[in-house]
Chain A
Amino acid sequence: MSRAAKVSTRLDTALGWSTDRNAWLSRGVRILLCVLAVLLFTGPLITVFSGAFDVNRDPTQFSVIPHHPTTINFEEGSHKNIWGYFANSLFIAGGALLLQLLVSVFAAYAMARKKFRGQAIILLLILTTMMLPEEVIAIPLSLIVGDLPVVHWNLRGTLLGVILPLGAWGFSIFVMTEFMREIPVELEEAAKVDGAGELRIFARIILPLCRPALAVIAVFGFNMIWDQYLLPRIVANDPSDYTLTVALADLRSDFEVGPGIVLAGALLALLPSLLVYLSLQKSFLRGITTGAVKG
């Protein structure tokens, strides 16, 4: 560290940005570019906040600061069921995420901590599901959800119809398996000597140590579920089954609805993702780098 500091901090970055306070030109250019980048990438999201709290019905009159701050868009939106759609979204996200976490930790425990015949084939199956784009199976899935093979349940138009197909996700299992492999065997053996059963080892030893990985698969799982578009659409029987993200398009094409209400809905759909990201940011970034490199 001290050696690097001696060499000149200019070599810390690829472009050789100066950290010297006197290099005002370089600093000025960098600050200006940073401001531009922030405006470009967050500006469109900020306009949603102002648009959602503005009375304007004319889509061209649209600004960064509301002209007349009001909550009327949310009140009018409630007649168009935006809170109902929001409730659908939250229920699906909560249910599917819980299911996905449970399924992932169970599967990862078997893959990472056990040796059994056929393990290589199972790993291959999990990898296959990761290579299979969800869009590709949309058509047959829409038929299967209406009549599950063998059990003959009809999940069409139910929240379960959206939750169950999201129950297992290869990425989560994969990340969790990689993490669980790192836990030393001695811990497990010590517990076994003390007579702990399989479930006890799983719940009391392995799971508590997996908290960082759980955070990673929770943020990613939430994001993946909240981003679902095709699935809620094909499972729905009628528009009242839609999630908020899917319903936005219907709101927009409704002539009684101005851009204000659409943006109020967009804001509601945006907030949970932003909150999850901002509170678990480190896990998110860690997941991107590990997930991409391993996958």
Chain B
Amino acid sequence: MTAAREATAVPGVTHTARDGGVSTAGRRKPRRWTRSAIPWLFLAPALLFFLYFKFIPMAEGIRLSLYKVQPFLGDLFVGMDNYTSVLDDSAFQDAAVHTAVLAAGTTFGSMIVGFCLALLLEGQAKSLWFVRSAVFLPVVAATAVIGEIWRVLLFPAPNGFANEVLSWIGVGPSTFLDHPDTALWSVMLVGIWKHAPYDMVLILAGLAGIDREQYEAAAIDGTNVFQRLWYVTLPALRPVVTILLTLAAIRGLRVFTEVYVLTGGGPAGATSVWMTTVFSRGFEKNDIGVAAAASVMLFLVTFVLTVIVQVWRRAREAR
């Protein structure tokens, strides 16, 4: 396909280039320093945006985390005090637990659901393609919109939509987001609902890459479906699963929008996660220094997690 594209592109290209050649024929060769400046000119916009909206904020975040930030009075250097007050704060401790539970539950839940969906929807048929496209829709919808929709669906009254559906199969009614005991699980379910189709796509790509001859060999050995899944399919999916786990774990640790829209961290702090706590500290209580320190800690955790997985992956591949 690319070959055909090139073949059609080349005649047009040489034509326009020749037109340009007439006008530039008399021009002198550009000097050395302009030649070496060309890549930097092309990179300049990206570097400028990154500098202003990634690197300066990051540096500023680290600086703020070491200060007691007081508008009008001037900032006061406090060293690691903000970090120790984050660690001592029970709100952050609870948030850390909720974040870990939510991240783990959403990560594994969506992987299991995604795996089942992939097994169900694997195949070449046009109808399966249609089903796959439909199932994928939650991934493309904006997180905040999904939160609002589920808030309405999970209305805690017995005749709320979700409870109505549950009553058909004789379950419920549940209080969902409205009660401390059920709120975190409800948030987790919505997270799984949104992320499972994403995992499905990656697992489907992994399934498509499995050599069909391995299935033939397994069939000749007289294995049943479960043995084939366990001994052939799952080992072949290991690289995909590693990637999914890393991506989902990091996504889970930095979760904000879903929780903020669904519960705002409530009821009674039962679903407060790290980022919603940072948000309320920073923007509602204006405790910028502590919020910045908590942000830096979150970054360090995700950073260390990424590095560990990368190193582990390299080591595996090298073996």
Contact between B25 and A195 (Cβ–Cβ < 8 Å)? yes
Expressed in whole angstroms, the Cα–Cα distance for A202 and B53 within the complex equals 27
Contact between A34 and B50 (Cβ–Cβ < 8 Å)? no
**Chain B proximity mask over A77-109: 1 for CB below 8 Å, otherwise 0:** 000000000000000000000000011101101
Contacting residues of chain B (127-168) with chain A, CB-CB under 8 angstroms: 127-128, 131, 133-138, 140-146, 148-153, 155, 157, 159-161
Asked whether B235 is an interface residue with its Cβ less than 8 Å from the other chain, the reply is: no
Contact A229:B17 (CB < 8 A) given known A195-B25, A292-B243: no
Asked whether B54 is an interface residue with its Cβ less than 8 Å from the other chain, the reply is: yes
Asked whether B109 is an interface residue with its Cβ less than 8 Å from the other chain, the reply is: no
Contact between B299 and A132 (Cβ–Cβ < 8 Å)? yes
Minimum CB–CB distance for B271 against chain A, Å = 15
Contact A110:B39 (CB < 8 A) given known A184-B6, A245-B145, A293-B243: yes
Contact A289:B9 (CB < 8 A) given known A47-B153, A266-B148: no
Expressed in whole angstroms, the Cα–Cα distance for A212 and B257 within the complex equals 31
Asked whether B58 is an interface residue with its Cβ less than 8 Å from the other chain, the reply is: yes
Contact between B137 and A11 (Cβ–Cβ < 8 Å)? no
For B49, the closest partner residue in chain A by CB is A168
Contact A45:B141 (CB < 8 A) given known A106-B42, A292-B243: yes
Asked whether B40 is an interface residue with its Cβ less than 8 Å from the other chain, the reply is: yes
Contact between A11 and B216 (Cβ–Cβ < 8 Å)? yes
Contact between B121 and A37 (Cβ–Cβ < 8 Å)? yes
Contact between A38 and B50 (Cβ–Cβ < 8 Å)? no
> What range describes how many residues of A lie at the interface?
35 or more
For A35, the closest partner residue in chain B by CB is B131
Minimum CB–CB distance for B196 against chain A, Å = 8
Contact A15:B122 (CB < 8 A) given known A136-B61, A148-B52: yes
Contact between B275 and A135 (Cβ–Cβ < 8 Å)? yes
Asked whether B95 is an interface residue with its Cβ less than 8 Å from the other chain, the reply is: no
- Chain A contacts for B291, CB-based, 8 A: 139
- Chain B contacts for A234, CB-based, 8 A: 283
Contact between B134 and A38 (Cβ–Cβ < 8 Å)? yes
- Chain B contacts for A19, CB-based, 8 A: 123, 125
Expressed in whole angstroms, the Cα–Cα distance for A76 and B299 within the complex equals 43
Asked whether A65 is an interface residue with its Cβ less than 8 Å from the other chain, the reply is: no
Expressed in whole angstroms, the Cα–Cα distance for A149 and B55 within the complex equals 12
Which of B5, B140, B197 is the one whose CB lies under 8 Å from A223?
B140
Expressed in whole angstroms, the Cα–Cα distance for A154 and B172 within the complex equals 52
Q: Is the interface of B mostly helix, strand, loop or mixed?
A: helix
Of the stretches B86-94, B178-186, B202-210, the one at the interface is B202-210
Contact between B24 and A37 (Cβ–Cβ < 8 Å)? no
Asked whether B282 is an interface residue with its Cβ less than 8 Å from the other chain, the reply is: yes
Contact between A168 and B50 (Cβ–Cβ < 8 Å)? yes
Expressed in whole angstroms, the Cα–Cα distance for A14 and B100 within the complex equals 32
**Chain B proximity mask over A19-57: 1 for CB below 8 Å, otherwise 0:** 100000000001001100110111011011001000000
Asked whether B176 is an interface residue with its Cβ less than 8 Å from the other chain, the reply is: no
- Chain B contacts for A38, CB-based, 8 A: 131, 134-135
Q: Is the interface of A mostly helix, strand, loop or mixed?
A: helix
Contact between B49 and A164 (Cβ–Cβ < 8 Å)? yes
Contact between A137 and B225 (Cβ–Cβ < 8 Å)? no
Which of B5, B145, B233, B250 is the one whose CB lies under 8 Å from A14?
B233
Expressed in whole angstroms, the Cα–Cα distance for A197 and B34 within the complex equals 13
- Chain B contacts for A42, CB-based, 8 A: 134-135, 137
Which of B21, B43, B64 is the one whose CB lies under 8 Å from A195?
B21
Contact between A114 and B145 (Cβ–Cβ < 8 Å)? no
- Chain B contacts for A30, CB-based, 8 A: 120
Which of B10, B54, B120, B133 is the one whose CB lies under 8 Å from A132?
B54
**Chain B proximity mask over A107-120: 1 for CB below 8 Å, otherwise 0:** 10111001011010
Minimum CB–CB distance for B292 against chain A, Å = 5
- Chain A contacts for B142, CB-based, 8 A: 226-227, 229, 245, 269-270, 273
Contact between B56 and A102 (Cβ–Cβ < 8 Å)? no
Asked whether B302 is an interface residue with its Cβ less than 8 Å from the other chain, the reply is: yes
Mark B residues whose CB is within 8 Å of A: 2, 5-6, 9-10, 13-14, 16-18, 20-21, 24-25, 36, 38-40, 42-43, 45-47, 49-50, 52-58, 60-61, 64, 117, 119-125, 127-128, 131, 133-138, 140-146, 148-153, 155, 157, 159-161, 193, 197-198, 201-202, 205, 207, 210, 212, 215-216, 219, 225, 228-229, 232-233, 243-244, 247, 250, 254, 256-257, 260-261, 275, 278-279, 282-283, 288, 291-292, 295-296, 298-299, 302-303, 306
Mark A residues whose CB is within 8 Å of B: 4, 7, 11-17, 19, 30, 33-34, 37-38, 40-42, 44-45, 47-48, 51, 59-63, 102-104, 106-107, 109-111, 114, 116-117, 119, 122, 125-126, 129, 131-133, 135-144, 148-149, 164-165, 167-168, 173, 182, 184, 187, 190-191, 194-198, 200, 202, 204-205, 208-209, 223, 226-227, 229-230, 234, 245-246, 248-249, 252, 259, 262-263, 265-266, 269-270, 273-274, 276-278, 281, 284-285, 288-289, 292-293
25 A-B pairs in the complex with CB atoms less than 8 angstroms apart: A14-B119, A37-B131, A38-B131, A38-B135, A41-B197, A62-B152, A103-B49, A107-B42, A110-B39, A116-B39, A129-B54, A135-B278, A139-B278, A165-B49, A195-B20, A204-B13, A205-B9, A229-B142, A230-B256, A248-B144, A248-B261, A263-B149, A270-B142, A273-B140, A292-B247
